[in-house]
């Protein structure tokens, strides 16, 4: 297993170091893993004047999988847009054709008291959010800020999806639902936006190939409300890039913290990049207090999706469960009666539990 390790910025290096510890522990147990590190985001800009240095992209292209921390930081916000850390992330997703972003919102029973919702509303929660990742308003042209006919500045972006882009993410969602509880909820804003009216039409077409999977549709504003009212009604949610970005952060709080939500970003051959759903958390960077579990659980997803090793994936997930069951918590998921752990202590505990 050749893994490109891209720690990035802020808490990125702190949380990635914990996932690397876990991978090294597996490696010393006979799983063959080679890892090589490279800078991305602000670290890429600092090292090579580019948030996605050519050497980093090459390393990622040559690897079987990529482990990424997070990118971004306040000191980069005034750079010209192409130089900003977030552009490095968007470019690597596009370059590697990682169109399918899987964000599982799963409540570990031990964290029921850390969830933003009452235990009876969230217990047993297991939702898979399938977010399209290489299209939508993120990439649509034209975009920019120009002077309009009234002589004032005007900002504009274009929400755009082609039929084939919608179809391929639809198939990913239905394939996943076939192996779960056979329900896909497609989230759109078809009452207002043509792009998502097409989205809905294509989802209905894709559903014809999956007679045992039930398709429903929901407007995104209602979906945001339903996620906190009755989240267990969902099995698989499929949605576009921008709605998926927002809904997955919302769903993370049902699981206790944004620090618990892993992700896999896959191409059509399950080559993938694995990263927590959260960002570089500049407000807590450098303090060794970030929750590394989303990153460690992303490494488990890497074993499952790219390396086809369900057994190793479950070993990592079971180790996380064990640590939580033992009452260890980083500050974001800490509740009365549990023991507070730093980022590195949490990583050490998962390694010990392996």
Ligand X SMILES: CC(C)[C@H](C(=O)O)[C@@H](O)C(=O)O
- Which of 21, 188, 189, 305 is labelled catalytic? 189
Task: By CB under 6 A, tell whether 89 contacts ligand X.
Answer: yes
**Interface stretch with ligand NAD, choices 179-187, 279-287, 307-315, 321-329 (CB under 6 A):** 279-287
Residue 276, Cβ neighbours under 10 Å: how many? 31
Known binding residue 131? Answer is: yes
Considering the complex, state which of residue 57 and residue 71 has its C-beta at the smaller distance from ligand NAD. 71
Distance of CA 214 to the CA centre of its chain: 25
332 is catalytic: no
Kind plus residue range of the DSSP H or E element containing 274: strand 272-274
Whether 118 sits among the annotated catalytic residues: the reply is no
- Per CB under 6 A, the list member of 115, 196, 257, 277 interacting with ligand X is 277
Q: Among residues 138, 161, 210, 305, which one is catalytic?
A: 138
Q: x/- site string to ligand NAD, residues 89 to 108, per CB under 6 A?
A: x-------------------
Q: Are 5 and 20 in contact (CB under 8 A)?
A: yes
- Which of 56, 186 has the CB closer to ligand NAD? 56
**Which member of 9, 14, 50, 86 binds ligand X (CB under 6 A)?**
86
User: How many Å apart are CA 289 and CA 278, to the nearest integer?
Assistant: 15
Q: Contact region for ligand X (CB under 6 A) — 51-59, 82-90, 180-188, 310-318?
A: 82-90
For residue 148, the Cα-to-chain-centroid distance in whole angstroms is 37
Task: Give the three-state DSSP class for 326.
Answer: coil
Residues 168-207 contacting ligand NAD, CB under 6 A: none
Q: Which residue has the tokens 């970005």?
A: 245
Sign of the alpha-carbon torsion through 48, 50, 55, 56: positive
38 token code pair: 């490279």
Q: In terms of CB distance, is 33 or 102 closer to ligand X?
A: 102
> Is 335:345 a contact under the CB 8 Å cutoff?
no
Nearer to ligand NAD, 16 or 290 (CB): 290
Considering just the CA atoms, what is the radius of gyration of the chain in Å?
20
Contact between 11 and 284 under an 8 Å Cβ cutoff? The reply is: yes
Size, binding site for ligand X by CB under 6 A: 7
Site residues for ligand X, 42-81, by CB under 6 A, read: 72
Q: Which is nearer to ligand X, 215 or 294 (CB)?
A: 294
Minimum gap (Å) between residue 228 Cβ and ligand X: 19
Which of ligand NAD, ligand X, Mg ion, none sits in contact with 90, Cβ below 5 to 8 A by type?
ligand X
Q: Which residue has the tokens 């952060």?
A: 249
The reply to whether 279 sits in an annotated binding site is yes
Among the listed residues 26, 28, 43, 3, the one whose alpha carbon sits nearest the alpha carbon of residue 275: 3
Angle at alpha carbon of residue 157, lines to 155 and 160, rounded to 5°? 165
- Residues 120 and 29: their CA atoms lie apart, in Å, by 40
Q: Does residue 330 bind ligand X (CB under 6 A)?
A: no
The token duo for 350 is 């998962």
Question: Which three-class secondary structure state does DSSP give residue 168?
Answer: helix
348 is written with which tokens? 């050490």
- Residue list 243-262, contact with ligand X (CB under 6 A): 245
Which parts are annotated binding residues? Answer: 93, 103, 131, 221, 245, 249, 279-291
Q: Which residues bind ligand X (CB under 6 A)?
A: 72, 86, 89-90, 245, 277, 279
Which parts are annotated binding residues for Mg(2+)? Answer: 221, 245, 249
Q: Which residues bind ligand NAD (CB under 6 A)?
A: 11, 15, 70-73, 86, 89, 258-259, 275, 278-284, 290-291, 294, 332
Known catalytic residues are 138, 189, 221, 245, 249
């Amino acid at each position: 297993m050749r893994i490109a390790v891209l720690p990035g910025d802020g808490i990125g290096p702190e949380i990635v170091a914990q996932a690397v510890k876990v991978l090294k522990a597996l490696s010393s147990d006979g799983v063959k893993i080679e890892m090589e590190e490279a800078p991305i985001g602000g670290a890429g800009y600092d090292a090579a004047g580019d948030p996605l240095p050519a050497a980093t992209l090459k390393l990622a292209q040559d690897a079987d999988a990529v482990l990424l921390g997070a990118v971004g930081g306040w000191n980069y916000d005034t750079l010209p847009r192409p130089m900003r850390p977030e552009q490095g992330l968007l470019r690597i997703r596009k370059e590697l054709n990682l169109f399918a972003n899987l964000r599982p919102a799963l409540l570990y029973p031990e964290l029921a008291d850390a969830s933003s919702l009452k235990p009876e509303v969230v217990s047993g929660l297991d939702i898979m959010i399938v977010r399209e990742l290489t299209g939508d308003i993120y990439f649509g042209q034209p975009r920019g800020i120009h002077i309009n006919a009234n002589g004032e500045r005007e900002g504009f972006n274009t929400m755009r999806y082609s039929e084939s882009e919608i179809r391929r993410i639809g198939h990913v969602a239905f394939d996943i639902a076939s192996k779960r509880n056979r329900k896909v909820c497609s989230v759109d804003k078809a009452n207002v936006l043509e792009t998502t009216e097409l989205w809905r039409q294509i989802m209905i077409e894709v559903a014809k190939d999956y007679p045992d999977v039930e398709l429903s549709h929901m407007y995104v504003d209602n979906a945001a409300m339903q996620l906190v009212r009755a989240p267990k009604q969902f099995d698989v949610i499929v949605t576009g890039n921008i709605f998926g970005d927002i809904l997955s952060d919302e769903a993370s709080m049902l699981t206790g913290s944004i620090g618990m939500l892993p992700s896999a970003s896959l191409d059509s051959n399950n080559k993938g990049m694995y990263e927590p759903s959260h960002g570089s958390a500049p407000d807590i960077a450098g303090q060794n207090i970030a929750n590394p579990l989303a990153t460690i659980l992303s490494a488990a997803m890497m074993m499952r999706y790219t390396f086809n090793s369900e057994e190793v994936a479950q070993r990592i997930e079971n180790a996380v469960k064990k640590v939580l069951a033992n009452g260890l918590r980083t500050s974001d998921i800490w509740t009365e009666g549990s023991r507070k752990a730093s980022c590195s202590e949490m990583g050490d505990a998962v390694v010990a539990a392996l």
